[in-house]
Amino acid sequence: MSSILTNNGAMVALQTLKSINSNLADTQSEISTGKRVATSKDNSAVWAISKVMEADVKGFKGISDSLNLGQSTVAVARQAAETTTELLTEIKARIVAAQEENVDRDKIQTDIDALRNQIVGVVGAAQFNGLNLLSNTETTAGTGAVNILASLDRSGTGVTASDITVQKQDLGLGAASIDVASASATAAASDELSGAANTAAVALAGNATQATTAAVVGQTAGAGTATVAAGTGFSIEITAGAAGLATFNTTATAGAQEITYVARDGDTQADVAAGLADAFNKYVTDNSAITDGLGIGAAVNGTNANQIDFTGANNTGDNFSVQVRSYAVGDSTIGGRLEALADIDVTTQAGADAALLEVETLIQTAIDSASAFGSAQGRIETQADFVSQLTDALKSGIGALVDADMEEASARLQALQVQQQLGVQALSIANQAPQSLLSLFQG
């Protein structure tokens, strides 16, 4: 049936042409924007995923900047620590030279003083953007380490940031001090941080064999992983008995300063125990009233890292006791880990001998610091490379989701243009169809 009121052919041709035009508009949009999914109406699910990934890319760019800043900061500290190690090695060479009696020790001491001042300058200048990783003498919790933003970890519960923690490695020369007369001084047996297994002083009486007893940093012997507040001071006071140890005392106010340790931020009970044991042994070594045959010394227990084992005299009549005490934050001053460098004096034979022993410890401290920074810098560089590669992978993933295939779009555009021309022609033919009805009414 033909009708002059309804042209079905024209309607079909018109709908086809509209569909072609719509597809042509989409293809032209892909070509002009370069995206297959440019807005959420194109494909809401893919668009949402791509936007989350784009946000991560922005975040990782910020992380890359953070890692570059951290890498530069650690690199400065590492270089300064390595330079300090070299300068300490030079000082050791001067100390070795001072062992010879027929030398001008005063001039050698002048060289050592100059090298020491150079170390002070290097450590003081080892800062990047105001942060110096070679100084750790603040009592504020958390100042002993620096967290460098390293990654964003996305999971089903959200996004969390992860850090690379770089511990400060103090190489300062400042002297530690404790107000041993302070009312805050607490005996080992009652103090929470420096409690000892004994109810009083650790007594070491001379006998035929060495006597060993222990003091514990913390109420319970163990791994010693509990942290100690920065600025908390500790001392070991010695009360000597008779015989060859009569002068082996530190109970006087001045003497009690000689065997001390002041915790710095990040220190654990194990660190305090090690520091006190080293201070005790140094005092024994430096005290001319003690001979090696007395067997006096201190060491960290092989099982309990917060336990100090004291070894007593092995000669009958030689006896002494020790008392560990702690002091509240505020009654102590944190010193530098190279503070002993300030006391090196080779102008005498005794001083040169003592300096040779001391400088080895100082060199090892500097080496350990440089190694720690080197390890941290390597980790940061590895993470920076990973973040760069991850960012590239995310960008590629986003492109795979939303970018238009330009070869396909080009071919589709040409096909649609042909279809459009044919559609227009078909619509024109369909619109002319009613005119054929006029022939029905011609005589």
Cα-based angle 69, 266, 162 (whole degrees, multiple of 5): 45
215/312 same-domain check: yes
CA dihedral of 326, 328, 329, 332, whole degrees rounded to 10? -60
295/412 same-domain check: no
**CB distance 134 to 115 below 8 Å:** no
**CB distance 279 to 286 below 8 Å:** no
313/185 same-domain check: yes
**Tell me, what's the pLDDT at 287?**
74
* Angular region, 158: left φ>0, alpha ψ -120 to 50, beta rest: left
The tally of domains found in the chain comes to: 2
Domain boundary at 296, 318, 334, which? Answer: 334
Domain boundary at 334, 352, 381, which? Answer: 334
Domain boundary at 273, 307, 334, which? Answer: 334
User: Of how many residues is the chain composed?
Assistant: 443
Give the domain range for residue 424: 8-34+404-441
H-helix or E-strand spanning residue 332: strand 332-333
Evaluate whether residue 187 is within a structural domain.
yes
**CB distance 64 to 150 below 8 Å:** no
CB atoms within 10 A of CB 295: 17
Q: What is the pLDDT along the chain (443 residues), one digit of tens a residue?
A: 667 777 787 888 888 888 888 888 877 877 877 788 887 888 889 889 888 888 889 989 999 999 999 999 999 999 999 999 999 999 999 999 998 888 888 999 999 999 999 999 999 999 998 899 999 999 888 889 999 999 888 877 778 888 999 999 999 998 888 887 766 666 544 333 343 333 334 455 444 444 556 777 776 788 888 888 899 888 887 776 555 666 676 765 556 677 889 999 989 989 999 999 988 888 888 776 666 556 778 889 888 888 888 876 655 566 677 777 788 888 888 999 999 898 899 998 888 888 888 899 999 999 999 999 999 999 999 999 999 999 999 999 988 888 777 877 778 878 888 888 888 888 888 888 777 777 777 75
411/321 same-domain check: no
240/325 same-domain check: yes
190/329 same-domain check: yes
Nearest CA to 137 out of 166, 164, 165, 171 is that of: 171
272/420 same-domain check: no
Evaluate whether residue 427 is within a structural domain.
yes
320/211 same-domain check: yes
Evaluate whether residue 160 is within a structural domain.
no
Evaluate whether residue 151 is within a structural domain.
no
Evaluate whether residue 414 is within a structural domain.
yes
**Tell me, what's the pLDDT at 10?**
80
Q: How far apart, in Å, are the Cα atoms of 246 and each of 125, 249, 277, 317?
A: 47, 8, 22, 10
186/288 same-domain check: yes
Evaluate whether residue 417 is within a structural domain.
yes
Evaluate whether residue 315 is within a structural domain.
yes
216/325 same-domain check: yes
285/424 same-domain check: no
422/298 same-domain check: no
Evaluate whether residue 379 is within a structural domain.
no
